[in-house]
Structure 1
């Protein structure tokens, strides 16, 4: 069998076969047959110069010819081969192209990280409040400190100023502010300790390289 990527020059659909000597001889003789329809004679003449011809047209010319002069159909096609056309490549959609680009970029990043994993120092220390659990715990701790400061200030001023409502509220606000200041100071201390640990870890890794 013959596989062709080009379409036949004859604009026809269906089975395509190769044009060998027996078919070409039949077409030339059919183009000169005056008893054959003019349209079929012109078709036969046009097909005789092609390398591949549609089976349907050859069949029509063969049927239109006189049985006494036309060759046996099996003998006519015995030396020819089927010609198959290659399908057009399937076009990729824009969504698929974008997805493929993302996958390619991700693969490149992973490959780059794999190449430099032994060169860049590994960061063993985690950033403060990097997780949702840490953030929630810090928020609850701040609320607890503020509430405790307000309660202590409120009770202290209530005892000092003979149960005065205004002074008790002022004492509560003062205690709340003091609690916020204490929490801010503790936060600064924790951040400084974390930075010192990170610097020490990075220096140790550089020395080990």
Structure 2
């Protein structure tokens, strides 16, 4: 590794003198000018320049490297980064992807537990299953009821069994139409989400806590006012009784 020196004031003045020396070749002067513009100077280039001065016509024999480099220091170069193998890079990328996915899943799990509470997946699935089962039973009961109503209602008006069946089918169709209308109404109204319910419940709790604090403050203020009034009445009553208990002679002496 070549030795590199920091470009100090002594080195800059030496390079400026070499640049201004017309007795030196142009390539040497250009080299000195280029080195003067940088922050680091190779030791080998300084040595070559001093040798050029000594072999030239100028007064270069009095130039010494230890005098030129006084006040300078060695410019240490950092180690080159080691190149990672493709297998290692692929392994690191896979580990980083797994870490990012784990952090993302943890964040989503924390948000879900905070907003909806723990175990919402099982409870939500069970609630949906129960709602669907109850809706199906409701439809079956309603259709059976309307079919029976139409069947027995027509039986009072006509003795024909075919008419009874037609009346039951008409009641069944009416039940299906009514259930369809109710289903359309339920689906058109957007259900309130769990997050909205939590926010509304939180606002309600905050308002109730505020009202409770206001009531406690009012009760405390009323108690303080009552104690103050009772204390002033007691002091006045005690003063009057004490004045009445003093004998007349003592009053005259006073």
The TM tier, using the shorter chain, reads 0.3 to 0.5
Structure 1 or 2: more helix by fraction: 2
Q: Which one has a bigger Cα radius of gyration?
A: 2
Of structures 1 and 2, the one with the larger relative CO (CA 8 A, separation 6+) is 1
